């Protein structure tokens, strides 16, 4: 009879001239914050103070009698390149962190069921280890909150002391106040549509529980998730999948560590503008134990639609539950289904849209904790919006969400909009690119066409638009197959290229940010032959060019003075026995050039100047052993001056290594970035305005991906994320930086058309 009751209410409303939406109760956002206490090191009760003592190498047990679950927030973690931090729960399950992983997690751990944790710090080969516990988050049993008071189990009260209420976090206190507004138990704050709760248990692998805020999040393509904007805040921390049943009293139980994922705070794009403009798009780190992203682990994502308008919609999420009449809300009792995955289908009564608003209304049952749930076309896995608000009661009303007909939301969704723009028209075709920056800050791009002619285009002002067309440099008789651009000390750009016959040529601006000298000049004679080039700038400003000959020997030449002529010959670096097939050059913080190369057998080698603008150390040194193999390299410089190298292995996995101090030695090993499942065939690196490195790569299927440091000279965000949508396909990339610090990326498609995209602000998001 339940469905009949809902239909009857809608019919009665129509006959009396009152819309269903007019019957709805006040709209409430629907989070269900985790029941917890938060004890910080600087406010710990005396009985817990010893738990916060600084940790060194060894083990410590964290015991909190009466806790339903525990979670730790660390600060000042020092593991070095090979130290390990391990957290082990009462069940024996562990979470293992490297320095990069704990940095990416912001010092937070997964949630462990039970009242005891074991913390282990293991020293690496070179550096000491240490860590401090900043906070201990203590899971409280369900039912500890009521309208009148906070009730904490006696063992916890003994530990926390008589002033235990001060450890209850603000979101729980606000929930108490909000529930206290309702004049009648279970009417205005619940959103069961009618007198019975018709939700049933479900197991959709695409939907997860966001904690500790107590909302729902769900998977879409490209490594992204969706939820409600009003859920976003400091408690929008982790997403849990495959959530087990709660305890009989409704106390939440965490899934295994392999099913918990850290939300990347910097990835969140959201609006909290009320019904119809309440949404969040975000990303998570790969799992610390499996290395998998949730879409890969769960094996499924939702599809999105802003055109479907079904009669019936399903809402699947993690709402509270309990016996009638409150069904877990309003301070009422909870049960084992509370905040586990449940679903219900109901009638869709509204699906409207606009520039910044799109409203869904439906009589599908939901409860607190359902905020952020997908609103799904019944009979499939196509979502038309995000559930956000309660509005139902025994007497009628509808629950509400944000429709994908909200144009601003639809534009913000990864997988629906691309930020790549054709550069300049689809009639322009090039095979490779290089980017330079003029003395006045304007970017200038150079490219080689399929017929080996050379073309350029430039910004009309620094950090601004482009001149509108590609211009031949200089005539159809000038033909090169590879280019490199460098800037002289006086600001003049100089371009170097290799011709189809392997001769080397160059041309230059006649004045900074000005016109060109009018012809390509050979460097030095027709007997000099190289297959590829790289250019570096010495500390004194002199350019130095490095090249690989057809027999894989390595050669260099240099300017005799800054912005001046060249020394007159190519010189072997160092002997005919030294053979590489790919080079990259970088400048150390102290000014010394360092050259990196890949040998024909894929081993990696480097050599360096013994002093700035001076001679070389005399030999190529392996980096690090004959078992390390890469196909190609890119080099970036951290904000603190340390060089960092990135490489693609023969199996397309991505690796990095770094200097332990500026202009100093290396960390000793290549580290995978991030797992064997991450595979790219080429890389380029850029540096954000705030100093954070950002990597861009092309996968074997030509999709484009990126990843970035979480802070300058710091760890990485933990995953490769699609840039922008699966339909974007390029075969190579080049990265430039605008005068205002914004990164701009240029790419060539399989049909040789040229594309670009850019950050909308320095160190910020990308254009759409």
pLDDT tens-place string over residues 176-213: 555 443 333 333 345 899 989 999 999 999 999 999 99
Dihedral pair phi/psi, residue 471, rounded to 5°: -120, 135
Please state, for a pLDDT cut of 90, what percent of the chain lies above it.
73
Mean per-residue pLDDT over the chain, rounded: 89
Give residue 29's pLDDT.
63
Give residue 299's pLDDT.
87
pLDDT tens-place string over residues 326-345: 898 877 889 999 999 999 99
Most confident of 85-89, 287-291, 332-336: 85-89
pLDDT tens-place string over residues 263-277: 998 889 899 999 999
Q: Which residue has the higher pLDDT, 175 or 650?
A: 650
Predicted TM-score (pTM) of this structure: 0.65
Average the pLDDT over 354-372 and give the result: 95
Give residue 176's pLDDT.
58
d(CA 578, CA 597): 11
Using CA atoms, how far residue 158 sits from 65, 151, 162, in Å, is 9, 13, 8
Give residue 543's pLDDT.
98
**In 3D, which of 713, 745, 711 has the Cα closest to residue 730?**
745
Give residue 27's pLDDT.
53
Using CA atoms, how far residue 143 sits from 153, 251, 665, in Å, is 10, 8, 57
Most confident of 154-158, 229-233, 322-326: 229-233
Give residue 181's pLDDT.
39
Banded model confidence at residue 15, pLDDT cuts 50, 70, 90: very low
Give residue 7's pLDDT.
34
Dihedral pair phi/psi, residue 101, rounded to 5°: -70, -45
pLDDT tens-place string over residues 580-638: 999 999 999 999 999 999 999 999 999 999 999 999 999 999 999 999 999 999 999 99
Average the pLDDT over 545-553 and give the result: 96
Which H or E element spans position 386?
A: strand 382-390
Give residue 720's pLDDT.
86
Average the pLDDT over 695-706 and give the result: 94
CB within 8 A of 298, min separation 6: which ones? 205, 206, 219, 241
Q: Which residue has the higher pLDDT, 311 or 153?
A: 311
Least confident of 278-292, 649-663, 693-707: 278-292
Average the pLDDT over 496-525 and give the result: 96
SS3 content of the chain, % helix, strand, coil (to 5): 10, 40, 50
d(CA 156, CA 136): 13
pLDDT tens-place string over residues 407-454: 999 888 866 667 788 888 888 899 999 999 999 999 999 999 999 999
On the question of pLDDT at 150 being above 80, the answer is no
Give residue 677's pLDDT.
84
d(CA 290, CA 718): 12
Give me 691's structure tokens.
């100093």
On the question of pLDDT at 556 being above 70, the answer is yes
Q: Which residue has the higher pLDDT, 82 or 650?
A: 650
Give residue 144's pLDDT.
58
Placement of tokens 């949730």 in the chain: 294
CB within 8 A of 400, min separation 6: which ones? 24, 27, 275, 276, 359, 360, 361, 362, 387, 388, 389, 391
Residue-range domains of the chain with CATH:
36-178 (2.60.120), 190-412 (2.40.10.120), 636-660+681-767 (2.115.10.20)
Give me 440's structure tokens.
């006045």
On the question of pLDDT at 94 being above 80, the answer is yes
On the question of pLDDT at 8 being above 60, the answer is no
Give residue 518's pLDDT.
94
Give residue 361's pLDDT.
97
Give residue 145's pLDDT.
53
d(CA 283, CA 267): 6
* N residues, the chain: 768
pLDDT tens-place string over residues 16-43: 233 333 333 345 566 889 999 999 999 9
Are 330 and 190 in contact by the 8 Å Cβ rule? The answer is yes
């Amino acid at each position: 009879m339940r469905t009949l009751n809902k239909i009857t209410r809608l019919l009665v409303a129509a006959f009396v001239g009152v819309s269903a939406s007019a019957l709805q109760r006040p709209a409430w956002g629907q989070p269900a914050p985790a029941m917890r206490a938060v004890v910080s090191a600087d406010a710990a009760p005396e009985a817990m103070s010893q738990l916060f003592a600084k940790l060194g190498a060894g083990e410590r047990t964290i015991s909190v009698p009466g806790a339903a679950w525990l979670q730790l927030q660390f600060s000042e973690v020092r593991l070095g390149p090979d130290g390990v931090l391990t957290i082990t729960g009462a069940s024996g399950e562990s979470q293992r962190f490297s320095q990069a992983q704990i940095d990416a997690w912001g010092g937070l751990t997964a949630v462990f069921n039970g009242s005891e944790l074991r913390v282990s710090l293991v020293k690496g080969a070179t550096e000491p280890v240490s860590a401090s516990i900043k906070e201990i988050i203590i899971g409280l049993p369900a039912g500890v909150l009521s309208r009148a008071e906070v009730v904490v189990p006696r063992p916890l009260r003994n530990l926390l002391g008589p002033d235990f209420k001060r450890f209850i976090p603000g979101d729980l206190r606000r929930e108490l106040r909000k529930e206290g507004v309702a004049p009648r138990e279970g009417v205005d704050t619940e959103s069961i549509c009618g007198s019975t709760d018709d939700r049933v248990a479900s197991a959709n692998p695409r939907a997860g529980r966001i904690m500790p805020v107590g909302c729902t999040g769900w998977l879409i393509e490209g490594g992204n998730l969706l939820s409600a904007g009003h859920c976003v805040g400091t408690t929008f921390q982790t997403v849990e999948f495959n959530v087990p049943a709660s305890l009989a009293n409704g106390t939440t139980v965490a899934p295994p560590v392999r099913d918990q994922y850290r939300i990347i705070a910097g990835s969140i794009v959201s609006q909290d503008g009320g019904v119809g403009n309440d949404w969040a798009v975000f990303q998570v780190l790969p799992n610390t134990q499996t290395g998998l992203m949730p879409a890969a682990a769960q094996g499924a994502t939702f599809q999105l639609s802003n055109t479907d308008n079904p009669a019936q919609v399903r809402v699947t999420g993690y709402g509270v539950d309990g016996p009638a009449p409150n069904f877990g809300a309003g301070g009422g009792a909870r049960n084992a289904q509370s905040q586990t995955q449940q679903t219900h289908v109901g009638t869709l009564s509204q699906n409207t849209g606009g520039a910044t608003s799109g409203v869904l209304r439906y009589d599908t049952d939901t409860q607190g904790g359902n905020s952020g749930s997908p609103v799904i076309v019944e009979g499939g896995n196509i979502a038309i919006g995000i559930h956000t608000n309660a509005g139902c009661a025994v007497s009628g009303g509808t629950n509400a969400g944000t429709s994908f007909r909200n144009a601003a939301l639809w534009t913000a969704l990864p997988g629906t909009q691309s930020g790549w723009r054709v550069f300049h028209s689809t009639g322009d075709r090039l095979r490779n690119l290089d980017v330079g920056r003029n003395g006045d800050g304007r970017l200038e791009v150079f490219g080689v066409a399929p017929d080996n002619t050379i073309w350029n285009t430039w910004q009309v002002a620094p950090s601004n638009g482009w001149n509108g067309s590609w211009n031949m440099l200089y005539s159809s008789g000038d033909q090169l197959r590879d280019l490199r651009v460098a800037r002289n000390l006086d600001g003049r750009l100089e371009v170097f290229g290799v011709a189809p016959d392997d001769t080397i040529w160059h041309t230059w601006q006649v004045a900074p940010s000005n016109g060109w000298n009018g012809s390509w000049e050979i460097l030095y004679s027709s007997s000099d032959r190289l297959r590829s080039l790289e250019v570096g700038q010495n500390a004194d400003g002199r350019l130095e060019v490095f090249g690989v000959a057809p027999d894989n020997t390595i050669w260099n030449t240099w300017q005799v003075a800054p912005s001046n002529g060249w020394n007159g010959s190519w010189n072997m670096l160092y002997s005919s026995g030294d053979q590489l097939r790919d080079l990259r050059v970088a400048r150390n913080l102290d000014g010394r050039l360092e050259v990196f190369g890949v040998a024909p057998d894929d081993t990696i080698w480097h050599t360096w100047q013994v002093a700035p603008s001076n001679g070389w150390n005399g030999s190529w040194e392996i980096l690090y052993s004959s078992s390390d193999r890469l196909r190609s390299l890119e080099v970036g410089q951290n904000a603190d001056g340390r060089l960092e190298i990135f490489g693609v292995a023969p199996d397309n996995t991505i690796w990095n290594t770094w200097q332990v101090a500026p202009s100093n030695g290396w960390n000793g090993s290549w580290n995978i970035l991030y797992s064997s499942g991450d595979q790219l065939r080429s890389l380029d690196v850029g540096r954000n305005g705030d100093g954070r490195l950002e990597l861009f790569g092309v996968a074997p299927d030509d999709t484009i991906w990126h990843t970035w440091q979480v802070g300058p000279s710091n760890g990485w965000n933990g995953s490769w994320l699609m840039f922008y949508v699966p339909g974007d396909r390029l075969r190579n990339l080049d990265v430039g930086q605008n005068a205002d610090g914004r990164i701009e990326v240029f790419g060539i498609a399989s049909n040789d058309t040229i594309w670009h995209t850019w950050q909308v602000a320095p160190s910020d998001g990308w254009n759409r």
